[in-house]
Chains A and B, each alone.
Chain A
Amino acid sequence: MGKITLKQVRKSFGDVAVIPGIDLDIDEGEFVVFVGPSGCGKSTLLRLIAGLEDTTGGVIEIDGKDATQLPPAKRGLAMVFQSYALYPHMSVRKNIAFPLKMAGLPVAEQEKRVANAARILNLTSYLDRRPGQLSGGQRQRVAIGRAIVREPAAFLFDEPLSNLDAALRVSMRQEITELHQTLKTTMIYVTHDQVEAMTMADKIVVLNAGRIEQVGSPLELYHHPANLFVAGFIGSPKMNLIDGAEAAKHGAVTIGIRPEHITVQDGGPWQGVVGLSEHLGSDTFLRVQVDGVGMLTVRAGGEITLRHGDAVALAPQLDKLHRFGTDGKALA
């Protein structure tokens, strides 16, 4: 249960090809995150899988069966929306029971499943409230509850945390990850936030302009970005990308190096001046203007005392250098 395969899936709105053709395998029980900048087609792809939009071409298989023409309700998938999309006129209990009622389940069974979902999500004491009386995090949990009672083949999440404040986002992130570990159901999660992608995913699909840039585990993407786009998108702060003469020295059009792979070191090859230093306590991020290289972000220790205007020498760890060719693809 829960294997989804996309074969040459295409989507156009009028003359505009939003998704020119995507092949993707999602295995049973996997937590897959679609990540990319806004407008990259990740939400559209999710809606195609959900059946809320028609495909222009290609095949969507769910558990080996062609589901391309099936209406959303027949695909056995559940979706959690960005706005939660709770029914404001129904109590939490009725919201969660709604899909079961639509499926015509006996009332006793409905109650059992609602109670079970409420227990898992800590919603038991809120069952008789209306969505309007709940906090953002609670609403989010109701939306998830409504999804899990159906025991779907897969869960689809469309940027579910973007309406929450920062602290709540972190804890909901953990809750969803734990939920995945408990249920072991396939989950497809759309976000523009690469931190969410890194922390939650078994497999990340990086999308850009309707195309897949790279598919892989979070660490694969981090350590072996296939191209400039993935290199720049994954990781925070961003990888430093340097082109020109410095890149040519390494036989590439562009080289990339992550902030943690540059050390402040007397006698280092790169001489620069500190522009900005951000002290996070545990770390300090320095923005350094290096002659002939450009502005670099460097992660240094929390105790470092460099300030604006100080001269500094930097040493890159050459074995961590990423090299990219003219087409933006990583060089072996």
Chain B
Amino acid sequence: MARTYSTRRKILTTAAAWGVALLIFFPVLWMILTSFKTEASAVASPPQLFSADWTFENYAEVWSRSDYPRFFWNSVVISIGSTLLGLAIAIPAAWSMAFVPGKRTKDLLMWMLSTKMMPAVGVLIPMYLLFQRLGLFDTKIGLVLALMLMNLPIIVWMLYTYFKEIPGEILEAARMDGASLWNEIVHVLTPMALPGIASTLLLNVILAWNEAFWTITLTTTKAAPLSAFIASFSAPQGLFYAKLSAASTMAIAPILILGWFSQKQLVRGLTFGAVK
């Protein structure tokens, strides 16, 4: 039974909720607003929420001074490429863990996750040398591989939790119906788990897009994505705020917009299937 609440109470909670939400969102909002100000009004005291002299100047300047489209394209290729490759490797693994669990399945899953706990900095030099030696340094392929491996444990885990919700009888029915393992996965499992796979895809694209250690240390120019683009802007003092804000907005806007549109799917994915 749904309960009825007084309108008064609803107004109060609504006001409180919006207050808190705006507070959390404010830094992002402030960054976007600042990106449209002149450098002078960006540092004006007291701060101006809206300034009179709205300008697109900052964007124009960031655009002309750097090769934004190349960084953007690299980010797209690396984040989507690494996630798709990760899914291709993780789907069979998750199938195995969910439908043919053994005594060691849980340990295996936990081991996979624990590989993520190794501090990346600890293996920076070996990784750098390896990438140089293998010709992967500053290549998109190299970053696709690195980020795929970084996120693989998360992808496997998420898929595993989604697959576990699918009744095994359906896969057995497919087996009785003459489906090979390939057909079982392609025609039955994957379509049934599509919402889960979509959430996994989204979350990992975001994680890969926002990765800012390997993407910066293992690239120089050719394969550098937006995280490296923004790092190159991070020595600003004082008079540089508006342009910094514009560059920052440009770096996060694509994923922010994607995230807003897919928010429902994403929240489901964020819970890692562990919260029903």
Which residues of A are at the interface with B, using a C-beta cutoff of 8 A?
Answer: 50, 52, 71-73, 77-79, 81-83, 85-90, 98-99, 102-103, 146, 150
Contacts and interface: CB of A to CB of B under 8 A. Distances in A.
Q: Identify the interface centre among B167, B170, B180, B183: most chain A CB within 10 Å of its CB.
A: B170
A87 B192 contact: yes
B175 A73 contact: yes
B192 A85 contact: no
A90 B172 CA distance: 16
A63 B230 CA distance: 72
A98 B173 CA distance: 10
B113 to A, nearest CB: 28
A177 B85 CA distance: 51
A246 to B, nearest CB: 48
A52 B172 contact: yes
B103 to A, nearest CB: 10
B173 A79 contact: yes
B107 interface: no
A99 B192 contact: no
Contact of B170 (A87, A103, A150): A87
B179 A73 contact: yes
Given A73-B180, A90-B191, 5 more contacts: A85-B172, A89-B191, A98-B174, A98-B187, A102-B179
A83 B169 contact: yes
Contact of B192 (A79, A89, A98, A146): A89
B67 interface: no
Interface in B166-205: 167, 169-170, 172-180, 183, 187-188, 191-192, 194
Interface in B137-190: 167, 169-170, 172-180, 183, 187-188
Interface residues of B, number: 18
Q: Identify the interface centre among A82, A83, A87, A146: most chain B CB within 10 Å of its CB.
A: A87
Nearest to B166: A88
A83 B167 contact: yes
Contacts of A78: 176-177
Contacts of A87: 170, 173-174, 188, 191-192
A99 B179 CA distance: 7
B172 A102 contact: no
A77 B177 CA distance: 9
Contacts of A73: 175-180
Contacts of B174: 87, 98, 102
A178 B252 CA distance: 65
B169 A82 contact: yes
16 contacts: A72-B175, A73-B175, A78-B176, A79-B176, A81-B169, A82-B169, A85-B169, A85-B170, A85-B172, A87-B170, A89-B194, A98-B179, A99-B178, A102-B174, A102-B177, A150-B178
A136 to B, nearest CB: 16
Contacts of A50: 176
Contacts of A85: 167, 169-170, 172-173
Nearest to B183: A102
A98 B177 contact: yes
Contacts of B187: 98
A52 to B, nearest CB: 5
Given A87-B188, A87-B192, A88-B192, A52 B170 contact: no
- The 7 A-B pairs at the shortest CB distance, nearest first, are namely A85-B173, A99-B177, A73-B178, A102-B178, A85-B169, A89-B191, A85-B170
Contacts of B192: 87-89
Contacts of B167: 83, 85
Nearest to B179: A102
Contacts of B177: 73, 78, 98-99, 102, 146, 150
Contacts of A71: 175
A311 B186 CA distance: 70
Contacts of A90: 191
Nearest to B194: A89
Nearest to A89: B191
B178 A103 contact: yes
A86 B192 CA distance: 11
Nearest to A87: B188
A73 B177 CA distance: 6
Contacts of A89: 191-192, 194
A150 B192 CA distance: 23
A77 B176 CA distance: 7
Nearest to B191: A89
B191 A81 contact: no
A52 B175 contact: yes
Contacts of B172: 52, 72, 79, 81, 85
B275 to A, nearest CB: 23
A89 B9 CA distance: 43
Contacts of B179: 73, 98, 102
A82 B168 CA distance: 12
Interface string B33-50: 000000000000000000
